[in-house]
Amino acid sequence: MKWPVVNGVSCVTYYAHDHELVDNAVRFYTNYLGLTIHSETDNGVYLASDDSLLVLKLVVSKEAPDSAEVKKIHKRFEEDLNIVDWRSRAPGFTLSIADLNSTILKLQQAGLVLQITPNDLYPNEAYFIDPLGNLVGLTTTANPLSLVPPVKKLDQPNEGYIMSATVSEATNNNGAPLKGSKNVAVMTSGGDAPGMNACVRAVVRAAIYHECKAFCVMEGYEGLVRGGKEYIKEMSWQDVRGLLAEGGTNIGTARCKAFRERPGRLQACQNMIEAGIDALIVCGGDGSLTGADLFRAEWPSLIKELLDTNRINQSQYHTYKHLNICGTVGSIDNDMATTDATIGAYSALARVCQAIDYIDATANSHSRAFVVEVMGRHCGWLALMAGIATSADYIMIPEKPSSSKGWKEQMCEIVSKHRSKGKRKTIVIVAEGAVTSELEPISSKEVRDELVKLGLDTRITTLGHVQRGGTAVAYDRILATLQGVEAVKAVLECTPDTPSPLIAVVENKIVRKSLVEAVQITKSVAEAIEEKNFDKAMDLRDSEFVEHLHNFIAMNSANHNEPSLPVEKRKKIAIVNIGAPAGGMNSAVYAMATYCMSRGHTPYAIHNGFSGLARHESVNLIDWLLIQGYNSVGGSEIGTNRATPHETDIGMIAYYFEKYQFDGLILVGGFEAFVSLDELEKARCTYPSFRIPMVLIPATISNNVPGTEYSLGADTCLNALVEYCDVVKQSASATRDRTFVIEVQGGNSGYIATFASLAVGAQISYVPEEGVALDQLEADIASLRKQFASEKGMSKSGKLILKSSNASKVLTTQVLADIVKQEAHGEFDTKTAIPGHVQQGGLPSPIDRTRAARFAIRSVQFIEDSFDTINKHHYDVDFPIENTELSNTAAVLGVKSSHLKFTSIRKLYDFETELGRRMPKKISWKFTRDVADRLVGRERLIKELGQVPSLA
């Protein structure tokens, strides 16, 4: 690496107050500026560039600033960032480098504040303060007087990883390796969970990408204690092929009594040092992560003991005296605090819902009751979410035992009311940790006996370890992959003073949380239950858990208990589906109607969209009994239509709105629904009947509605596509040397193709935002040829290419396959596969069911809260159309980063929408696309979505 010093010197000496500051400086200059350790003395360290054009000497001197003073120096420079030219404040040396852009981004990742000239977009020079408080400059010029043209535009640091909808709060992702020097190990511990293999794959490949060595610790902490190459294995890129489609954990997990004692941890410490590991990523539950944090806390004393007993030498002590640990949570119970989801939880929920869907059919046939026992010793998340997703009659969870009366009386009363209304089936879900308010365990047999007393033919189904089985659903594969990548970045960026991080997800955003705090809160829930303090237990649960529980209780009391609102506040609320069917539409109707009933509102369904309303007056009151079972039905039971109000007859629609005196409207659909909401909002000045609160719940597999990062139906689509791709990839692997080109739906949005690519490990994906450029296609084919050559004779060698149907008008799926096959020169075969409308899915996924319920109830609450704001202008002759407060009463409900929020249709339609392409202007998931390519080793020539012309 040729980085000459612009000032003309060849050796620079910097002074540090103590050895710890020297170590900090060594890590900084080696990790971020590419210097290497040349030699060491008792008093300092010599660093050098590859060609020795620069030698940096770091010397210990008590006269140098200590850590506190260095922090003050950094603070002073940060305060003067946009006021004073830093070069006038301190002398320093300046390096001439070729790739200024990526170096700037690396330094920003490290948390440094930079002064960049002439500006951030076109940097020519950059200055920063190093860990010792010295000013260091970077430039593209060869000497102080030379002039060069500005380098290419700097890629802006991203907001992190977007899930299906996720963003890193702690770091940025520029697509360039961090060039860390760590050896990173990953292990799985505790109970197995679907998605753990995806996490292991992500950690291994992300570590290799960042030019680190990757290791797997076999059999959890047991392997760490036993040590040796049998249990601590170095992994290559190819070692983790095919793991995405496999359930459980292929590197094993086991209980380890030895690690619970200090001698066991001491041996584990020695084994890690002998293997050369200085960063550990643990995927497990709260017990496993507690052990990991204890291990890190004890590490200084453990390694000191090893040195004092001559089990390691001084050099090893100096090299490994700090250990970085990061946690990712693998648990089907979803019992970890501070994160919305744990790896494996939604896969387990999918198994539970599938089983209950099957049971539902026979229960309805025989008019039976079923008691279904699910896992959840200290957490009722599985039971709660399954209860919402399957419209269960009653649930029992550890955090919320019956308080108003005994559980037997309460359950029997609710079941009896449901039966009296004509319901033929009864489903009661019991978490294995369910207790009474006196902490007495509630068994499935007790529940059955009570239902039998009601005269119901009752059966018990205990799902047991079936809930852990099978491959991971799309969400868990994506979550585990993004968390694994973020975990590697975390251990590379953490300092000895950084608390151990936990990689979590909040709403839709990947974030770093405190591992210690998360474990403490999680344990506090169990302690609160033991103390019979159930209110505290609920308070310690995440807000989304509490919201879901309140929603379930409200929906479950529909049409049977006295409404919670006084008569004067009750409204008439309509719901309509617009656009193509999407998983979760029926769940939204069910949740909206039952919640309305519990509040006292009157729910209406507009059948077959706006055209059905205008042509046939297709409006019906929603009947409680008729919507039973809606949650487990795909498509749209009330019908849907793509026509917008202007495309039908907006005047007739206004007439029917006035006739039925609707007080609020909920639209469920995709871009056509988005346009419909815009048309209705604009028509308010002409038609008073539209002067009501209106809200759109995005529902489309394309996920192209502005104002949200996630639309209902996208998860159902991904699951269907992932299952399809797994089968096709299996065929390709069995045949050997075969590639399948699979056509993916999504209109002008590459969301589905990108996330499916991440979830199935597709080698290539083409999306409309990029098109299919010839140079990219040529590079991709060349890469496929190399990979097939290197994997000759190996299993799991099948490759997938995902192509969005609108990625190119010229290169159809068949034409693209023919080109690839022609250019393969007989080295591999190419076939096509088109899943078509299979991608819309059959039964909606649990994610789409539960999110639909949450979105629908939030929408009803929005109408309640917004009604008074606009109602006072209902009959104004001069309706104030420019009034922002009034325009906010027509909104889109969307997931944005870590928030669920309403955004005005006016703001979205006028400023954030690309109407010609039916897309939002900002692509929220583009950086996840980079991760998908990186983990399969694809070099993407197109760096910015939508910037490069294609063969369209």
pLDDT tens-digit series, residues 77-132: 888 877 777 877 666 778 777 778 778 877 877 778 888 876 666 677 888 888 88
Phi, psi for residue 461 in degrees, rounded to 5: -130, 115
Residue 607 banded pLDDT, cuts 50, 70, 90: very high
What is the fold, at CATH topology level, of the domain defined by 715-842+928-934? Rossmann fold (3.40.50)
Percent of the chain with pLDDT over 70: 91
Decide if pLDDT at 5 tops 60: no
Decide if pLDDT at 151 tops 60: no
Query: Selecting from 3.10.50.40, 3.30.70.100, 2.160.10.10, 3.40.50.450, what CATH number does the domain 567-712+847-915 have?
Result: 3.40.50.450
pLDDT tens-digit series, residues 731-751: 888 877 899 999 999 999 999
Instruction: State the pLDDT at residue 765.
Output: 95
Over residues 366-375, the mean pLDDT reads 95
- Could you tell me whether strands 694-698 and 764-766 are parallel, antiparallel, or unpaired per DSSP bridges? unpaired
Instruction: State the pLDDT at residue 171.
Output: 35
Residue 290 and residue 268: Cα distance in Å, rounded? 16
Return the ∠ at Cα 708 (arms to 577 and 547), rounded to 5°: 80
**Sign of the CA dihedral running 803, 804, 808, 809:** positive
Decide if pLDDT at 143 tops 50: no
Over residues 275-300, the mean pLDDT reads 92
Query: Domain residue spans in the chain?
Result: 11-139, 183-341+472-522, 345-468, 567-712+847-915, 715-842+928-934
Rg (CA), the chain: 30
Higher pLDDT, 266 or 4: 266
Instruction: Output the pTM of the full model.
Output: 0.81
Name the amino acid, one letter, at 353: C
Residue 69 · residue 133 · CB < 8 Å: yes
Q: Give the CATH number of domain 11-139.
A: 3.10.180.10
Instruction: State the pLDDT at residue 370.
Output: 97
Which DSSP symbol is given to 311? Answer: S
Say which of 130, 278, 333, 678 is annotated catalytic: 333
Same fold, 11-139 and 715-842+928-934: no
Residue 787 · residue 739 · CB < 8 Å: no
Residues 6+ apart with CB under 8 A from 96: 3, 4, 5, 6, 139, 140, 141, 142, 143
Which DSSP symbol is given to 373? Answer: E
Instruction: State the pLDDT at residue 886.
Output: 93
Residue 814 banded pLDDT, cuts 50, 70, 90: very high
Residue 701 · residue 746 · CB < 8 Å: yes
Q: Residue 855 to residues 394, 555, 663, 893: CA-CA distances in angstroms?
A: 22, 13, 19, 7
Decide if pLDDT at 166 tops 60: no
Residue 282 banded pLDDT, cuts 50, 70, 90: very high
Q: Residue 416 to residues 394, 396, 421: CA-CA distances in angstroms?
A: 11, 17, 9
Helix (H), strand (E), coil (C) string for 163-212:
CCCCCCCCCCCCCCCCCCCCEEEEEECCCCCCCHHHHHHHHHHHHHHCCC
pLDDT tens-digit series, residues 656-676: 999 999 999 999 999 999 999
Decide if pLDDT at 708 tops 80: yes
Indicate if 192 belongs to the active site.
no
Average pLDDT, the chain: 88
pLDDT tens-digit series, residues 470-518: 899 999 999 999 999 999 999 998 888 889 999 999 888 899 999 999 9
Side-chain-side CA neighbours of residue 574 (13 Å):
25
Phi, psi for residue 286 in degrees, rounded to 5: -65, -35
Decide if pLDDT at 394 tops 80: yes
Of the given ranges (36-50, 171-185, 680-694, 847-861), which has the lowest mean pLDDT?
A: 171-185
Q: How far is CA 577 from the centre of its chain?
A: 27
Residue 152 banded pLDDT, cuts 50, 70, 90: very low
With CA atoms as reference, report the closest residue to 893 among 673, 749, 707, 629: 707
Query: Selecting from 3.10.20.310, 3.40.50.460, 3.40.50.9100, 3.30.420.40, what CATH number does the domain 345-468 have?
Result: 3.40.50.460
Give kind and range of the element (H or E) at residue 903: strand 899-904
Residue 642 banded pLDDT, cuts 50, 70, 90: very high
Decide if pLDDT at 164 tops 60: no
Instruction: State the pLDDT at residue 920.
Output: 94
Instruction: State the pLDDT at residue 509.
Output: 86
Instruction: State the pLDDT at residue 155.
Output: 31
Q: Is domain 183-341+472-522 classified as CATH 3.40.50.450? A: yes
Tokens of 363: 């229960």
